Amino acid sequence: MLDNPGLGVGSWPWRRARITPDRIALAQGDRTVTYRALAERTRRLGEALRGLGVRRGDRVAYLGANDISALEMFFAAGQIGALFVPLNIRLSAVEIGYMLEDCGASVLAYGAGMTLPSGISAHLVGPDDYEQLVQSGSADVALEPVGLEEAAVILYTSGTTGKPKGAVLTHGNLTWNTMNQLAHYDALGTDRVLCIAPLFHVTGLGQVTMPTLFKGGCVEVVARFEPGEVLAAISRGRIAGFAAVPVMLKLMSEHPSWPAADLSSLRYVNYGGSAVEERVARAWQDKGVMLYQGYGMTETTAGVTMALGEGALERPVSVGPPHFYTEIAGLRDDHAAALVAGEPAELLVRGANVFSRYWEREEDTAASFVDGWFRTGDVVRQDPDGWSSVVDRVKDMIISGAENVYPAEVEAIMLQRDEVADCAVVAVPDERWGEVGAAFVVRRTGLSEATLRAHLESNLAKYKVPKYFRFVDELPRSATGKVRRTDLRRTASEWITED
């Protein structure tokens, strides 16, 4: 009989160690950790955290690049009923300080090279202290059970409309998301996969990484994403799969080593977070790689929908049908209603993978639900066979002369031209039409505004064509590759005023 009767994710390494103890669970560089060692180390670390005063419900924060220690801390916190709070390393010290204060972290573990905010009240565990902390704990202390309904993780949202909010995910959310992933693609206990998406993002934590550990496979942790190095790692390690955001797939497909890259071992690549260009998806498919585009959010523990193996080749930019244990609907007249094929609607989600609440934000939590369904803020269009496509963000939609304009549709048409490397369209005020579009375009070669405008006018209704165009060197993006549209709207307003 197991001496840890808990059901939460904190018990996973311990349970897996009883099944396949000497398989490699985690790898990074020359270092490997078996499931037996991972179980022992997380038990020790959990007990050491209790020695620092961490109790059930307390928050344990982590600030650092992807590392084995981050996953050990995640499992250790879960085993003692504490909440793991991974922080975005690309944020400023002020932003990090806000999150630490907001969640009330009692411990902050940090990696090499991290800049810490001043006035931290949490107990600090630096890279030189970490191993000593692990060894200071006992692996023989009995653990109290942790239930599926208990909080496990706080992941902070991007904060594009104000201060970041901490989405609280339970052990049940994480477990059911893992089941949803495994129902869509075949992860095996013999697989070796990469963890390249940041662990402070739900894609890095919830997709591929946790399903692989659940099945007893090996997760190779990549500290920082570099497209050429990742392509080499896939060939060298005979990697079976990984999860990514679209910009990662794009950068790898455009890297000089791409034509010669050996990707024959890849059985699946899961990606999501924003739309992918069809030509990027085709580039991966042309190398024989099965792409599974999914749609999800931090608040849904990553997964809501995902493409299936049957049909993904024909529809490379569709996000597929809903996950097995997830329901979707549309918002109509401020209430939940069944999605009507072909008609765009704001997506609503319900299921065991949907988050419990925003940390200390009851009003924000209540406003995010309608009739018991979570409001995603994304507009989707569902085909008759149940496959969906993301049309745009509700808040990104442009209302021009009472007509709805979805930037994603306009951007997709611009990207049909090879000269366009990247683009984004945002709304700006207009005296006549209320709002019009402003396009930011990154071009590979010479491309005039007149040529691009003519291309759009031949493929779109006139009211959908942006009024303003500006060619730029790059688009501002978040750590997860999403375009920072708030920044672009501010920039557009400034240069339009100047003009």
CATH number at residue 143: 3.40.50.12780
246 within a domain of the structure (yes/no): yes
pLDDT of residue 2: 40
Which CATH number covers residue 411?
3.30.300.30
Output the pLDDT for position 3: 46
269 shares a domain with 356: yes
- Backbone torsions φ then ψ of 52, nearest 5 degrees: -85, 0
Q: Is residue 97 part of a domain?
A: yes
Core vs surface per residue 57-76: b (16+ CB within 10 A) or e: ebbbbbbbbbbbbbbbbbbb
Helix, strand or coil, per DSSP, at residue 447:
coil
pLDDT at residue 216 in the model: 95
Q: Same domain for 368 and 328?
A: yes
Does some domain include residue 4?
A: no
Amino acid symbol at 44? R
Considering the domain boundaries, does residue 298 fall inside one? yes
* H/E element, 190: none
Same domain, 383 and 421: no
Same domain? 383 vs 443 = no
Domain boundary among 388, 418, 444: 388
Where are any strands of DSSP class E within 131-215? 151-156, 166-170, 192-195
Q: Looking at the structure, do residues 411 and 309 belong to the same domain, yes or no?
A: no
Same domain, 22 and 136: yes
**27 lies in a domain?**
yes
Number of domains in the chain: 2
* Residue 274, pLDDT score: 66
Asked if residue 1 is part of any domain, the answer here is no
- pLDDT per residue as tens, the chain (499 positions): 344 456 789 888 877 788 889 999 999 999 999 999 999 999 999 999 999 999 999 999 999 999 999 999 999 999 999 999 999 888 878 889 999 999 999 999 999 999 999 889 999 999 999 999 999 999 888 777 899 999 999 999 864 445 789 999 999 999 999 999 999 888 999 999 999 999 998 999 989 999 999 999 999 999 999 999 999 999 999 999 999 988 889 889 999 999 999 999 999 999 887 667 788 888 998 999 988 888 998 999 989 999 887 877 788 778 899 999 999 999 988 899 999 998 889 999 999 999 999 999 999 999 999 999 999 988 899 999 889 888 766 778 787 865 668 788 889 889 999 999 999 999 988 877 778 999 999 999 889 999 999 999 888 878 889 999 999 999 998 766 778 888 898 899 888 766 5
* Residue 331 and residue 241 share a domain: yes
Q: Are 147 and 81 in contact (CB under 8 A)?
A: no
Task: Judge if 195 and 94 occupy the same domain.
Answer: yes
pTM exceeding 0.85 = no
DSSP secondary structure of 238-261: T--EEEE-HHHHHHHHTSTTTTT-
The per-residue pLDDT for 234 is 98
Q: How far apart are CA 431 and CA 219, in angstroms?
A: 55
Residues 75 and 200 in one domain: yes
Residue 394, in any domain of the structure: no
Same domain, 384 and 412: no
Report in angstroms the alpha-carbon separations of 417 from 255, 256, 275, 451.
20, 21, 17, 10
Q: Which of 353, 388, 423 is the last residue of a domain?
A: 388
Same domain, yes or no, for 412 and 356? no
Identify the pLDDT of residue 162: 55
Three-state secondary-structure class, residue 421: strand
The parent domain of residue 171 ranges over: 9-388
Do 408 and 264 fall within a single domain? no
From 388, 412, 433, give the residue that closes a domain.
Answer: 388
The reply to whether 397 falls in a domain is no
